Amino acid sequence: MLFSSINFLYYFLPIVLVVYFLVPFKLKNLVLLISSLFFYFYGEPIYTLLMLATTLSSYIHGLLIGHFRGRVWSKVFLWSSVITSIGALGFFKYSDFFIHNVNNIFGSSFSLLGLALPIGISFYTFQTMSYTIDVYRGEAAAQRNFIHLATYVALFPQLIAGPIVRYVTVAEELSQRSHSFENFSYGVTRFVLGLAKKVLIADQLGAMSKALYGMDEASVGGYWLYAIAISLQLYFDFSGYSDMAIGLGRIFGFHFLENFNYPFISKSIGEFWRRWHMSLGSWFRDYVYIPMGGNRVKLPRWFFNTLTVWFLTGFWHGADWTFICWGLYFALFLMLEKFWLNKLFQKLPRFVSHIYVVVVILISFVLFNAAGMSGAITDIGGMFGAGGIPLWSAQTSYYLSGYAVILLCALLGATPLLKTGVRKLKENITARKIINVLEPIVVVALLLVVTAYFVDGSFSPFLYFRF
């Protein structure tokens, strides 16, 4: 079930909210669990069993790890848990990738399995792994209540596209959390703003990128406009979903951590990844990079650690060489920054480093969205005039003028200017009162506009469902 749908907004969510707030606290997790299972079952009937099996495995492993804490069996059960989780993820997500590459390398003819990718498996697998690892480290107590753990794994606000919520973040709130009008109001506002970002901006940018990519009159300018459109689409699509997840979580009393912090204003690739998909970056840092030694190792080992983490980051996103190359592409620039670029940019005006980051990011997302490596080569080549294509074309001008307003809105929305402006206005008592009156009106208006899009029949899938 999609957040961006009539069924979710006007049937599923209102019913869940009514039941949730009517039942006593001891039944609230059960209501959330049943609702979340229905939410997932609505779109993935068979794979609901896989998610439950993964949860049960983590529950049993967590109890065993906690029981044998400090003894060798604790590590045995930790590795058993990790291998089980990665095994399920690898089988359903990467089987055909490995079979295809084996066939290409050895000339074999093994049949592809053709398995459908379970929605959200990359996210809930990392969540269950963080749980058992934290129990092993002593950072979390083993959860003895299966309903609580299953609610954490299946919680529908963040189940299918993140952010990756660690167990330690919500462990206390699973047993004891507060509900208030302030939290509910904040949650609704955050959810509607995220929904508007997704439907009114990301989906329109998607139409723009599709139109630019399908132009008969290809041009260098058209390829760069496509790169801008697809990069902003990915940002507003995924950050919009994260906003919705955080908002829904707050309505139900959970405080999820932020997942995006205006990444396009970064002045280095390192800073970009501290602002983009922060829950994934911190997950790899804490559960892969630091356990491997991080940067407190000799230089050859640091190169190995960095390449490994970014290989895995790319591979996590999808079973294709484009994603692996995308991850290693970032590893290259992070290495260049560490040894050379950061020192260079300190001597240059600040706008130079910002331009560098924007160019690197635009190329990266063209690679990220390409149809295979051959498509990536064609698309990136087009950005630099490969094949003798012209710098500009009449068709490029046509689409630029047609989507100019939404593009300007997206560019503005990708910066903290609006947020900063509102915050400064609120420092004035009169302005704050006016904003407090206008805010709910704007939220309702946005919801009505979004609803009109749904009634019109617009289908609005999230891009990260593919990963």
175: helix, strand or coil: helix
Q: Is 317 a catalytic residue?
A: yes
Please count the other Cβ atoms lying within 10 Å of the Cβ belonging to residue 52: 15
Tell me which amino acid residue 227 is.
A
User: Which of these, 36, 2, 39, lies nearest to 450 by C-alpha position?
Assistant: 2
Helices within 268-403 (DSSP H only): 269-275, 278-284, 299-317, 321-336, 342-346, 350-368, 372-383, 394-402
Catalytic residue (choose from 61, 148, 277, 317): 317
Helices 321-336 and 372-383: crossing angle, nearest 10°?
A: 50
Q: For 301, what's the count of Cα atoms within 13 Å in the CB-facing half-sphere?
A: 10
Pairwise CA distance, residues 131 & 275, whole Å = 24
In sequence order, what are the residues at sequence separation of 6 or more whose Cβ sits closer than 8 angstroms to the Cβ of residue 203?
453, 458, 460
Contact 269, 335 (CB under 8 A): no
User: Which of these, 138, 148, 186, lies nearest to 170 by C-alpha position?
Assistant: 148
Tell me which amino acid residue 149 is.
L
Q: Which residue has the tokens 């560019």?
A: 411
In sequence order, what are the residues at sequence separation of 6 or more whose Cβ sits closer than 8 angstroms to the Cβ of residue 41?
48
42 exposure class (CB count in 10 Å sphere: 0-12, 13-18, 19+)? middle
**Which active-site residues does the annotation give?**
317
